[in-house]
Amino acid sequence: MIKISAEREEANDSLWQYEDKPAGLEAEDSRLICWATTDNGEYLYWLVQQGDDPDTRPVLINDESGEDWERYDVTVTRFLVGELGGQIRSQILWDQFPQPEHGFRTAREMAG
């Protein structure tokens, strides 16, 4: 997972040369930390700023093309509960997400 995150962070750094940064990332001390990916190529991030409270970090979702972003001002836990429970509906994530039965796999399980 660390290698995937480092590779994605490097890819995002090169992307900013051609695309606008998502709102909130303009500050020099801001960065994205990838915490999940999907089979369809979307990436889910925390927006981290120096000195921030981890419980107030927004969730950002980037589509597979790298062009479209969504921001959710909730914790990761609230975002996941909201998405899986149908209270939050992302326009970027697959329109059939979540499936009636869902589960989580660790990065090690996916790589192996």
**How confident is the model over 4-36, as pLDDT tens digits?**
556 766 766 666 666 677 777 777 778 888 888
pTM of this prediction?
0.72
Domain ranges for the chain, please list them.
Answer: 2-111
Pick the closest to residue 35 from 16, 15, 9, 10 (CA basis): 9
Q: Which is higher by pLDDT, 75 or 22?
A: 75
Q: Write the pLDDT tens digit of every residue in 76-87.
A: 999 988 988 889
| pLDDT given at position 2 | 46
- Report d(CA 56, CA 4) in Å as an integer: 24
